[in-house]
């Protein structure tokens, strides 16, 4: 992507989806003007970002071609997260705007959340919690099982998939993976059995977890 240049001192930065206070303080200490906005899609299309040199977004703000065209002063679009599917990358490139993200953001959090969902599913944690709140003792109907000895199928085996696989393996699960961009050698290094056919993954595994970006290629993958 062609990049004119990054921010100069005292840039005007819009934050549209919220941001950690420490990050905002750090930007202000660097002499930037940071303004937290609560704007609608209609306001964005009407030029709400026209006076800003940079914008920091999460997943809610959609920076479409129309929004980018109406923001002539933008130099940088920063995604406080991994995916940039809410940004029209071609429009940004055509406007010579740098698009940056945080590729390691939330990686460990997502790994741990995935494992927590796996544990909750086999131990019926949500159902047990609901029953207790309703003053019901449903012990017999909520007999769970163990993850040990089960087979986990991971669709997408990047940083998050590999991290989930590592913990699942430590819990005694057999780890399988489907990732058309992954070599069998790399999968083996991370203790996973690689499948080139996703249907085989579903046939072999007791549990499935999806860790790939949504795109035209992954639409209706499952």
Are the C-beta atoms of residues 156 and 179 closer than 8 Å to each other? Answer: yes
Cα separations in angstroms, 29 against 17, 32, 78, 121: 21, 7, 18, 45
Q: Do domains 12-100 and 107-210 have the same CATH topology?
A: yes
The sign of the torsion formed by the CA atoms of 185, 189, 193, 195 equals negative
Distance CA 175, CA 161 (A): 10
- Give the residue from 134, 145, 158, 139 showing the smallest Cα distance to 211: 158
Domain range list for the chain: 12-100, 107-210
**Tens place of pLDDT for every residue, the chain, 222 residues?**
333 445 667 899 999 999 999 999 999 999 999 999 999 999 999 999 999 999 999 999 999 999 999 999 999 999 999 889 999 999 999 999 999 999 888 899 999 999 999 999 999 999 999 999 999 998 888 999 999 999 999 999 999 999 999 999 999 999 999 999 999 999 999 999 999 999 999 999 999 999 998 788 888 988
pLDDT at 140: 87
Q: Are 168 and 152 in contact (CB under 8 A)?
A: yes
What pLDDT was estimated at residue 4?
A: 41
The CATH label, of 3.40.50.620, 3.40.50.720, 3.90.1510.10, 3.20.20.140, for the domain at 12-100 is: 3.40.50.720
Query: Please, are residues 52 and 97 in contact by the beta-carbon 8 Å criterion?
Result: no
Residue 172 burial by Cβ neighbours in a 10 Å radius (0-12, 13-18, 19+): exposed
CATH architecture of 107-210: 3-Layer(aba) Sandwich (3.40)
């Amino acid at each position: 992507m062609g990049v004119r240049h990054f921010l100069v001192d005292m840039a005007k930065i819009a934050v549209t989806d919220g941001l950690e206070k420490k990050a905002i303080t750090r930007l202000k200490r660097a002499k930037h003007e940071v303004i937290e906005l609560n704007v609608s899609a209609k306001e964005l299309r009407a030029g709400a970002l026209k006076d800003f040199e940079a914008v920091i977004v999460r997943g809610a703000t959609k920076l479409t071609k129309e929004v980018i065209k109406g923001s002539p002063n933008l130099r940088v679009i920063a995604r406080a997260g991994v995916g940039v599917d809410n940004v029209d990358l071609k429009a940004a490139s055509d406007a010579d705007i740098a698009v940056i993200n945080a590729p390691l953001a939330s990686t460990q959090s997502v790994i741990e959340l995935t494992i927590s969902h796996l544990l909750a599913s086999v131990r019926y944690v949500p159902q047990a919690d609901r029953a207790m709140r309703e003053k019901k003792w449903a012990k017999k109907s909520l007999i769970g099982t163990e993850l040990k000895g089960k087979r986990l199928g991971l669709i997408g085996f990047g940083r998050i998939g590999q991290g989930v696989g590592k913990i699942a393996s430590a819990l005694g699960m057999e780890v399988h993976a489907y990732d058309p961009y992954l070599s069998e050698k790399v999968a083996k290094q991370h203790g996973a059995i690689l499948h080139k056919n996703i249907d085989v993954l579903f046939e072999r595994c007791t549990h499935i977890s999806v860790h790939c970006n949504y795109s035209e290629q992954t639409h209706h993958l499952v």
